[in-house]
Structure 1
């Protein structure tokens, strides 16, 4: 995929096909479209136009689009940076001791207090700042005691490949591939008040 996005001749038709397939799947079910380091693709006019449209219309289809980047400047330098900032209802900022006020305050509109929090939070604190138009809060998400959850959430190529092989072998039902992937038993019968599985850390 990276090679396709870096090829100007192939990028646009590739994007058009992917958008077509995604649109086919937007059937009203809750959907998240997550784009990791998608700033190169934003150089493509077709991609930028579709993202600008999605930012304004996906909520009506019970879907959302999210971007992730390691560089605030990459996002702000994109051709649709104004739409990204204005149309994004929730932003998540990880600790960054080298954050610059011209990016975070001038670009994303953070207050001086929010900026100070991002600069001062320890990198390995498992804390981050969640910001919405009328409020912000520091959240701590510590999954160190739940390695099986981290395995499932991992986007590492090796983990994704292993899950793909398991699904080919045993099917798509999570209870079938979960034990082999995580090394723990499927939490059959252990559910919370909403009927969702209760994740228990491996011993």
Structure 2
């Protein structure tokens, strides 16, 4: 998991290693999560094009501050672009795309209620179900 991926890709050593790794990692069923606020930030890196080509599945969130040119490198369709730039940032929609096409999903997890806190672990989750919740497969029924 690489937050602010564009910054890591500005480092020549890291960019080369990641670029080589991504090309071969697919064969090993690997998951790589690279996050950036603007897709255009990848365009300004040495290996951005390789990254976009090597990552078969992209999960994109709406950004009302973005415009069409920010997504040029991703070759989005008009409908995909419309979802990303015209959907309010408070929505829970996400665009998931791969080489087969794209789909918009509603990622609103509010229906999970306190279970979301529990699944997040940490002290708040443990306070709701007890520190031993990992040893009790039905812990979620108690919430």
Equivalent-residue separation in structure 1 for 2:117 and 2:82 (angstroms): 29
Task: Give the superposition deviation at 1:133.
Answer: 1.8
Task: Give the superposition deviation at 1:86.
Answer: 0.9
Map residues 10-49 of structure 1 onto 2, 5 A cutoff.
34-49=1-16
Query: Which of residues 46, 55, 60 is equivalent to 1:79?
Result: 46
**For structure 2, which runs of at least 5 residues remain unmatched after alignment?**
none
How many residue pairs align between the two structures?
139
Task: Give the superposition deviation at 1:103.
Answer: 2.2
Equivalent-residue separation in structure 1 for 2:37 and 2:82 (angstroms): 18
Equivalent-residue separation in structure 1 for 2:142 and 2:64 (angstroms): 32
Task: Give the superposition deviation at 1:200.
Answer: 5.6
- TM-score, normalised on structure 1? 0.59
| 1:131 corresponds to 2:97 | yes
Contact kept, 8 Å, 2:38 with 2:70, in 1: the verdict is no
Contact kept, 8 Å, 2:5 with 2:34, in 1: the verdict is yes
Task: Give the superposition deviation at 1:149.
Answer: 2.7
Q: 3-state DSSP class of the match of 1:123?
A: coil
- TM-score, normalised on structure 2? 0.81
| 1:90 corresponds to 2:57 | yes
**For structure 1, which runs of at least 5 residues remain unmatched after alignment?**
1-33, 154-158, 167-176, 191-196
Name which structure has the greater RCO, CA cutoff 8 Å, separation 6+: 2
Q: Which has the larger radius of gyration?
A: 1
Contact kept, 8 Å, 1:43 with 1:79, in 2: the verdict is yes
From the superposition, tell whether residues 61 and 140 of structure 1 become closer, same or farther in structure 2 (CA, over 3 Å): same
Name the counterpart of 2:27.
60
When the two chains are superposed, the root-mean-square deviation of aligned CA atoms in Å is: 2.7
